[in-house]
Structure 1
Amino acid sequence: MTALTARSRASVDRCHALALAAGGTCDGAPGLRPHYHPAYYGAYFRDLDGNKLCVACHEPEGGV
C-alpha cells in the first residue's frame, strides 16, 4: 500500500472523491481512525490496477 499525507481533512475528502470519480474503488471511506492515533483522519481506495492507496491527515480538525 502506498500512503500519502494531506495537510487537511478536507484534502483527504477531495482526494478520495477524485479517486472514485477517476474510476477507483472505495476501500475505506474518509473518517477518523483513532486506533492509529486520536487525530488520524484517512481514506483508502484502489486504483484501476487494484493497488491500494491511502491518504491521511495527522493534524487535529482544522489542519495546520
Structure 2
Amino acid sequence: MRYAGGAGARLPPSKRWRTCRWTVGRLVAPFAAALLELVQAQADDTSRFVGLPTWMQILDRHFPRPQ
C-alpha cells in the first residue's frame, strides 16, 4: 500500500498523525512556557509594564543562546 504525502509519506495515517502532534507540541512548548511566564510577570505587578531586562531573562531561560 502506498501513501501520498510529505515527510511521513510511508507511515500509515494513524502513526503519521501521532508523529505530527509530537513534533508540533515539541516546537510550541517553549513558546507557550515563555508566554505563560511573561503573563505571570505582568500579573505580579500590574502597575507597570514588564521591562526589557525581564523579557530578556525569560527568553534566555526558554531559548538559550548557542555556545
Q: Which bracket does the TM-score occupy, shorter chain normalised?
A: under 0.3
Higher RCO (CA 8 Å, separation ≥ 6 residues): 1
Output the TM-score relative to the length of structure 1. 0.28
- Structure ID, larger Rg: 2
Higher helix share: 2
TM-score by length of 2: 0.27
